[in-house]
Amino acid sequence: MLKNKVAIITGGSSGIGKALAFELGKEQCRLIITGRNIDKLELTSHELRSKGIENYYVVADSSVEDDNKRIIAEAIYHYGKIDILINNAGITMRSMFEDADIDATIRKVMDINFFGTVYLTQAALPYIKKSKGTIAGISSIAGFRGLPVRSGYSASKFAVNGFLESLRTELLHTGVNVLTACPGFTSSNIRFAAIDGNGQISKETVRDEEKMMSAEECAKHIVKAIIKRKRSIILTNEGRLTVWLNKFFPSLVDRLVYTTLAKEKNSPLKQLIE
């Protein structure tokens, strides 16, 4: 069903984005992958081509509006159309709110996770409407339930969820599908690239990556949702349970989330308990 469709994937050189590139490649999509690191993009592009997957990469920063416009211009120049737009690029943070430098952390996270989605979607929208294609946002369970020590990340994902819901309603009679995909904790590089309260990259994860859903499994679910033109998916049983419990028992979830995240390595929440 996706053969010869043109798909743009931001943050396509690692993690869920890279897994999505290979999964869509299996469906014979033609790909544009983006990211800020040219070495990673070149390597991923080469790996895709070695599997017979047609692709083109664009070095771009999701937080820069002109870069997003250039992504769309490159896509149209090379392929002449856009069928699928996947807003995947994102970063997270790990800091107590009171200790965070607002510009270095929360504004940076919002610029990439939220405004990156907004910029690229608006630039692509005329072409997506023409193809009656799909706009997908890779959000998070943190877009339904705020997470302590990740206030900026949660705020950005709540914003993405609201934006996509509004957009879906605006486009109700256009034939465009808008998908909100919300993984739970997924084994990917996002935690290794988490920024601290001063905006510095941590380069380590505080969770057991082996116990999480893999990026490849996550990508399979998302591609199936694109094919079926679903409006939203929540991945992992833990994620679905958290969303349900938070709707009906929010005070209980406050305590459960606090206790769970306090167990993370070097969590400031644990220090407060002690």
Spans of all domains in the chain: 6-248
Phi, psi of 56 (to 5 degrees): -145, 140
The catalytic position among 56, 57, 153, 258 is: 153
Contact 157, 142 (CB under 8 A): yes
Nearest-CA neighbor of 252 among 242, 263, 238?
Answer: 242
Q: What is the number of other CB atoms lying within 10 angstroms of the CB of residue 192?
A: 15
Q: Say whether 153 is catalytic.
A: yes
Distance (Å, rounded) from C-alpha 25 to C-alpha 23? 5
Give the tokens for residue 185: 């904790």
All residues at 6 or more sequence positions from 67 whose CB lies less than 8 Å from its CB, including other chains: 60, 61
Topology (CATH level 3) of domain 6-248: Rossmann fold (3.40.50)
DSSP secondary structure letter of residue 82: -
pLDDT of the chain, 274 residues: tens digit per residue: 899 999 999 999 999 999 999 999 999 999 999 999 999 999 999 999 999 999 999 999 999 999 999 999 999 999 999 999 999 999 999 999 999 999 999 999 999 999 999 999 999 999 999 999 999 999 999 999 999 999 999 999 999 999 999 999 999 999 999 999 999 877 666 656 789 899 888 766 665 556 778 999 999 999 999 999 999 999 988 899 999 999 999 999 999 999 999 998 889 897 655 5
147 closest CA partner among 103, 186, 184, 99: 184
Which H helix or E strand runs over 116? helix 116-131
- CA atoms of 121 and 128, how far apart (whole Å): 9
Question: What is the per-residue pLDDT for 205?
Answer: 60
Side-chain half-sphere exposure of 54, counting CA atoms within 13 A: 12
pLDDT digits (tens, 9 = 90+) for 171-192: 999 999 999 999 987 766 665 6
